[in-house]
Structure 1
Amino acid sequence: MDKPTEMPTTDTKAERHKQRQQKLKAGVDAKIAAAQDEKGILLVLTGNGKGKSSSGFGTVARAVGHGKRAAVVQFIKGAWECGERNLLEGAGVTFHVMATGFTWETQDKQKDTAAAEEAWLAAEQLLQDESIDCVMLDELTYMLSYHYLDVDRVIKALQHRPPMQHVIITGRACHRAVIEIADTVSEVQSVKHAFDNGIKAQPGFDY
């Protein structure tokens, strides 16, 4: 007759949990010990889901909270009031806004290209300024997808920025050349979106 299987006691479960956590901690500690380089990070927030710009603005707010200088260049969405801009400008963050609105509203490639060029000139100046610790290029990906800006020119500016300057790029369908030089890439995917169910974008939550 087979001996009945003994159920783990509370003490046994606690010990197994402790062993798992110790193993996890050892792995984390090893990664921390190996990651000692310091440099400006190029962060890309892309994908079709909601929250890319919000995440980017959160990182800008974190920089400001640590006494860092930050600046934002907004492409495409500039015609909308922006709650993050209202808040962060008061905290000393510089904003450069393309201010043409969404490209499907203007339907004017020449106008949008000229506006993108003007906004990018401001971005290039920021990407050469060692006093700016963090630069957010909000919705830059569309400028490359629609060929309003030259990819090589953008890549060159990103690669030749001050070595300790962090850059955040947001927007859907990020160009592969930008992804290749990025240090961190997060892809935000959509599972459900209120807008698809007829709920309009609302101030204080969506923008």
Structure 2
Amino acid sequence: MDEEKGLTQIYCGPGKGKTSVAIGQAIRAVGHGKRAIVIQFLKGRATSKLDYLSALEPDVRLFRFEKKDKYYEDLTQEEKLEENLNIRNGLNFARKVLATEECDMLILDEILGALEFGIVSDEDILGVIGAKSQETELIMTGNMVTDALKNVADRVVSLEIVK
């Protein structure tokens, strides 16, 4: 893999491990002296699985923009509307991070889920990809991926449950 060019990668599919693979990439980047930012979407604030990342600060920084402790699917319609704004704020933050080159690697964990729920559009995500410098690596995760995103990504990896 060309270390100089920041790839746009997508980890998708019904299988488990998409977030773990993405975080593994962040840890690997830190080992090469780089800085990573992880923005989590649709995980609910109660998710503490990635709290171990705080040990890697400031090289890896984790952000969550959602305010509710419940998973998105469990929210009322009113709460969903509120969280949709928070999620879009997270995506705007991602665009800003890329435009200002604040990190060497940006991980948008479960952004494809936000796309699947119709909270963000292909155009929104393509706008984020467009803000990326050639050196910055961008990793996105989620169950499904659209053709538009497949076409602009350098690498699309599908994780599936075999057994």
When normalised by structure 2's length, the TM-score is 0.87
Instruction: Report if aligned partners of 2:91, 2:128 keep a CA contact under 8 Å in 1.
Output: no
In 2, Cα distance between the equivalents of 1:178 and 1:40?
16
Quote the residue 2:75 is aligned against. 106
In 1, Cα distance between the equivalents of 2:27 and 2:4?
20
Instruction: Report if aligned partners of 2:44, 2:72 keep a CA contact under 8 Å in 1.
Output: no
Q: 2:86 aligns with which of 107, 115, 118?
A: 115
1:89 aligns with 2:54: yes
Q: 2:43 aligns with which of 69, 77, 93?
A: 77
Q: 2:149 aligns with which of 153, 170, 178?
A: 178
When normalised by structure 1's length, the TM-score is 0.69
In 2, Cα distance between the equivalents of 1:173 and 1:131?
28
> Which protein has the bigger strand share?
2
Quote the residue 1:155 is aligned against. 126
Distance 1:148 1:36, change over 3 A: closer
AA matched with 2:31: G
Q: CA deviation at 1:36?
A: 6.4
Distance 1:107 1:142, change over 3 A: farther
Please, which runs of 5 or more residues in structure 2 have no aligned partner?
A: none
In 2, Cα distance between the equivalents of 1:56 and 1:95?
13
Q: 1:187 aligns with which of 151, 158, 163?
A: 158
In 2, Cα distance between the equivalents of 1:80 and 1:37?
35
- Indicate the structure (1 or 2) with the bigger Cα radius of gyration: 1
Give SS of 1:68's match: coil
Q: 2:28 aligns with which of 58, 62, 66?
A: 62
Give SS of 2:99's match: coil
Q: How many residues align?
A: 157
Q: CA deviation at 1:179?
A: 1.2
1:100-121 deviations in Å (ceiling 9; x for gaps):
4422111433123112112112
98-107 or 54-63: bigger deviation: 98-107
Instruction: Report if aligned partners of 1:112, 1:148 keep a CA contact under 8 Å in 2.
Output: no
In 2, Cα distance between the equivalents of 1:36 and 1:97?
30
Instruction: Report if aligned partners of 2:35, 2:105 keep a CA contact under 8 Å in 1.
Output: yes
In 2, Cα distance between the equivalents of 1:120 and 1:160?
12
155-164 or 93-102: bigger deviation: 93-102
Q: CA deviation at 1:88?
A: 2.0
Structure 1 stretches of at least 4 aligned residues deviating more than 6 Å after TM superposition: none
In 2, Cα distance between the equivalents of 1:107 and 1:61?
36
In 1, Cα distance between the equivalents of 2:81 and 2:150?
27
**Identity percentage over the alignment?**
28
